[in-house]
Chain A
């Protein structure tokens, strides 16, 4: 396969995600498999890099959440085709994958930001244990212990629900102080994340994408070094 053809397919995947063109992504993904291209390369340098640009467009207020969601659909359309064919050896070489327990806190049925984060973790090669939404507090603790995940990421869309996250942080840190806890959602700030004893936070759904994109980018950088 020529380098030119590889770049053409990567461009198709990238632009298909950015322009939320699911058909284009599906076509390019099938071509990657049919023509024997490296699948992990297609995921990371086609789909994921497309999502990086989506994050930038969101940051520049050119894209908003509807566009993010449609881009995510396009990305998943490609992932559904490509992910089963990724060579584990390629993923392993990144050296940065891990396990994440993820969910929207009890009392909160909003999960758009959480689902975007889930997508980006998956793209980055993490194993994601998605507990869904309106998750009872103790479920985060139990799932972390069960899976021995390095990260627990919680989301709350409203001030009226975020207090539960403080309790979860306390419960998890008591059992295992080394677990990294990320908080996200509209009402969460850096101050609140600190106050709750968390290790990090995402300012909003858009910022969460940015943070997740940075994770993907750093993974790709690690891989290329």
Chain B
């Protein structure tokens, strides 16, 4: 069974040999980048470097799948908001959007989101995805991802204006989020057409650290439902931060799987979502892979499996500057505890 087959069968809930090691967020690490002889800032603007950094990381640590790109600016950048790449900064910094629209009045939405796929770094992402899909005869699973409509909206215009508008200017904000939904669907379909194996929708700014469950139900859920209904490829509904109060609604959005971070009570989520739901999560990637002693990583991964996840996923992007010994311990532990069937996925 190839890594790609393992992940594909996983999403179909068909029996597999062992738990796949993969994520819907970035898994690129500094060791792979250094092996390539490039700097972190360089891999965001070159399709081959982006794709190669993903594949080098996967091979180095034993991942079954990869995800590109690594930053969340690309759709906003394609709409003309620019991107700060920090090319001259020492160390690791992800690109950011420097100039967001200040008010809803300023926002200029295109008539057709398809027209944005040739803009800014959109073609770089396409190239990187193709690189990964072709790599080693298509052996590895390749994930695409986009921000969810609300989080994407927060990349394009000032988040505080958007948050206040949810209550004060509901009609216009609702229309804006519907347009963002169209953008998300267009991007996800584009990546689906390129042949990715799964797509994560990261509505990470919508957890209950920010929004009330009631607001989530009326303003976030309907748009996510539209996104997942529009896609044929396996999908993941990822939200980080507080999700215990909205997990049932997350599971009801139409995605093939839900992904949560370390704040989620997976035992309770499993009870709420039932035995057949695919649940992905939920270790703290920074604590587990950067600060913790390698000897303690095994227990963290076992804890995720014991709680009831079907695949152990980091709760967010893996911070690239990981400890090599912790990465090894993480992958080894997934293989060790992933031999047994999980709630939703059997074993051969």
Residues of A within 8 A of B166 (CB): 66
Q: Is there an interface contact between B317 and A192, defined as CB atoms closer than 8 Å?
A: no
Q: What's the Cα separation between A110 and B154 when bound, in Å?
A: 10
**Quick check: is B167 within 8 A (CB to CB) of the other chain?**
yes
Q: How large is the interface on A (under 10, 10 to 19, 20 to 34, 35 or more residues)?
A: 20 to 34
**Quick check: is A51 within 8 A (CB to CB) of the other chain?**
no
**Quick check: is A224 within 8 A (CB to CB) of the other chain?**
no
**Quick check: is A161 within 8 A (CB to CB) of the other chain?**
yes
Q: What's the Cα separation between A206 and B208 when bound, in Å?
A: 11
Q: A70-B168, A186-B209 are in contact. Are A159 and B319 (CB under 8 A)?
A: yes
- The distance from the CB of B43 to the nearest CB of chain A, in whole angstroms, is 14
Which of B96, B166, B215, B285 has the most chain A CB atoms inside 10 A of its CB? B96
Q: Which residues in window 84-142 of B have CB below 8 A to A?
A: 84, 86, 89, 91-94, 96-98, 100
**Quick check: is A200 within 8 A (CB to CB) of the other chain?**
no
Q: Is there an interface contact between B285 and A73, defined as CB atoms closer than 8 Å?
A: no
Q: A69-B163, A73-B164, A186-B241 are in contact. Are A107 and B291 (CB under 8 A)?
A: no
Residues of A within 8 A of B245 (CB): 61
Q: A134-B84, A160-B317, A187-B286 are in contact. Are A65 and B98 (CB under 8 A)?
A: no
Q: A134-B98, A159-B286 are in contact. Are A112 and B92 (CB under 8 A)?
A: no
Q: Is there an interface contact between B215 and A66, defined as CB atoms closer than 8 Å?
A: yes
**Quick check: is B2 within 8 A (CB to CB) of the other chain?**
no
Q: Give 1 or 0 for each of A60-89: 1 = CB within 8 Å of chain B CB.
A: 010011110110010000000000000000
Q: What's the Cα separation between A162 and B291 when bound, in Å?
A: 13
When the two chains form the complex, which single residue of B96, B97, B209 contacts A65, counting CB atoms closer than 8 Å?
Answer: B209
**Quick check: is A205 within 8 A (CB to CB) of the other chain?**
yes
**Quick check: is A163 within 8 A (CB to CB) of the other chain?**
yes
Q: Is there an interface contact between A161 and B209, defined as CB atoms closer than 8 Å?
A: no
- The distance from the CB of B253 to the nearest CB of chain A, in whole angstroms, is 20
Q: Is there an interface contact between B96 and A64, defined as CB atoms closer than 8 Å?
A: no
Residues of A within 8 A of B79 (CB): none
Residues of A within 8 A of B86 (CB): 106-107
Residues of B within 8 A of A189 (CB): 287
Q: Is there an interface contact between A106 and B210, defined as CB atoms closer than 8 Å?
A: no
Q: Give 1 or 0 for each of B204-220: 1 = CB within 8 Å of chain A CB.
A: 00001111100100000
Q: Is there an interface contact between A112 and B291, defined as CB atoms closer than 8 Å?
A: no
Q: A109-B96, A112-B163, A191-B287 are in contact. Are A163 and B91 (CB under 8 A)?
A: yes
Residues of B within 8 A of A69 (CB): 160, 163-164
Residues of B within 8 A of A61 (CB): 208, 212, 245
**Quick check: is A94 within 8 A (CB to CB) of the other chain?**
no
**Quick check: is B50 within 8 A (CB to CB) of the other chain?**
no
Q: Is there an interface contact between B209 and A205, defined as CB atoms closer than 8 Å?
A: yes
When the two chains form the complex, which single residue of A66, A187, A192 contacts B167, counting CB atoms closer than 8 Å?
Answer: A66
Closest chain A residue, CB of each to CB of B159: A112
Q: Which residues in window 111-167 of A have CB below 8 A to B?
A: 112, 115, 134, 158-164, 167
Secondary structure at the A interface, as helix, strand, loop or mixed, is: helix
Closest chain A residue, CB of each to CB of B204: A158
Q: A69-B163, A112-B159, A134-B98 are in contact. Are A163 and B319 (CB under 8 A)?
A: yes
**Quick check: is B316 within 8 A (CB to CB) of the other chain?**
yes
Q: Is there an interface contact between A109 and B210, defined as CB atoms closer than 8 Å?
A: no
**Quick check: is B325 within 8 A (CB to CB) of the other chain?**
no
Q: Is there an interface contact between B94 and A107, defined as CB atoms closer than 8 Å?
A: yes
Q: What's the Cα separation between A134 and B94 when bound, in Å?
A: 11
**Quick check: is A38 within 8 A (CB to CB) of the other chain?**
no
Q: Is there an interface contact between B89 and A65, defined as CB atoms closer than 8 Å?
A: no
- The distance from the CB of A94 to the nearest CB of chain B, in whole angstroms, is 29
Q: What's the Cα separation between A115 and B158 when bound, in Å?
A: 13
Q: What's the Cα separation between A124 and B319 when bound, in Å?
A: 36
**Quick check: is A34 within 8 A (CB to CB) of the other chain?**
no
**Quick check: is A195 within 8 A (CB to CB) of the other chain?**
yes
Q: A107-B94, A107-B96, A161-B94 are in contact. Are A66 and B317 (CB under 8 A)?
A: no
Q: What's the Cα separation between A133 and B164 when bound, in Å?
A: 20
Instruction: A162-B286, A186-B209 are known; give 17 further A-B pairs, CB within 8 A.
Output: A64-B212, A64-B215, A65-B211, A69-B160, A70-B164, A109-B96, A112-B160, A134-B84, A158-B94, A159-B285, A159-B286, A161-B93, A163-B92, A164-B91, A191-B287, A204-B209, A205-B209
Listed in ascending order, the chain A residues whose CB lies under 8 Å from chain B are: 61, 64-67, 69-70, 73, 106-110, 112, 115, 134, 158-164, 167, 186-187, 189, 191-192, 195, 204-206
Which 5 A-B residue pairs are closest in the complex by CB-CB distance? A107-B93, A65-B210, A66-B163, A64-B212, A109-B96
Can you pick out 16 interface pairs between chain A and chain B where the beta carbons lie within 8 Å of each other? A65-B210, A65-B211, A67-B167, A70-B167, A70-B168, A107-B86, A109-B96, A109-B97, A109-B100, A160-B94, A160-B319, A161-B94, A162-B286, A163-B91, A164-B93, A167-B91
